[in-house]
Amino acid sequence: MTIHIGAAPGEIAETVLMPGDPLRAEWAAQTFLENAKCVNRVRGMLGYTGTWKGQRVTIQGSGMGMPSLSIYANELIRDYGAKTLIRIGSCGAMQNSVKIRDVIVAMTASTLSTPSRGIFRELNFAPCADFGLLEKAVTAARGKDCGVHVGGIYSSDVFYDERPDLNEQMVRHGILGVEMEAAELYTLAARHGVRALAVLTVSDHLLTHEALPSEDRERSFGDMVEIALEAAFS
């Protein structure tokens, strides 16, 4: 048990999927895992452990934003021995070639600031995914009925962004989508020598202003969860 995770020793698997929304963690566990058991309820940040095709998996909510994810990722790695952490979540598209319901597999994650920024001082550290996970996720995604894009994303530390000039530069430099957690996850994975990846479903579009209808989200998010699981264990 840690400050923020109430699981007993041995209740967290070495492979952890991390959606931001704890209710999405509950849905994913009930939908994709066998014998799923709730192992964390602290602060309502639900976590479940079960099996997928005989492999132990934990699905643990991370909350919104890099500071929140940093708390859970640190404790999962340092106190529970997690070795593979895959963020599963939604993102906003930033290129016309990226469509609603498409999946983005994030190779890199640019950002203005993360909770880890202070330790690097003047260095602009470039956080990136584990290549083995990324390669397997791309292979898995190509077998799904969805578009797949591989490249850089932007991890924002604000949701209500008032920097249209910055968004313009993200688009100009080929950033595929924006979310709020992956850059810190990739940084922590590098620091602790574990594997990390972000697999994201496009739920809205910053250029066209389209948004995924709520009734379609579960089906689209299901592809993302399956891709993450196949990447972890294939």
Task: Detail the residues annotated as belonging to a binding site for a purine D-ribonucleoside.
Answer: 4, 179-181, 203-204
Residues in the annotated binding site: 4, 20, 24, 43, 87-90, 179-181, 203-204
- CB atoms under 10 Å from CB of 201, counted, come to 24
Out of 130, 161, 165, 204, which one is annotated catalytic? 204
Residue 204 annotated in active site: yes
CA distance 228 to 231: 5
Kindly tell me the sign of the dihedral angle through the C-alpha atoms of 104, 109, 110, 112.
positive
For residues 70 and 115, is the Cβ–Cβ distance under 8 A? Answer: yes
Amino acid in the structure at residue 134: L
- CB atoms under 10 Å from CB of 159, counted, come to 9
Cα–Cα distance list, 82 to 27, 85, 120, 187, 188 (Å): 21, 7, 24, 15, 12
Residues in the annotated binding site for phosphate: 20, 24, 43, 87-90
Catalytic positions, written as ranges: 204
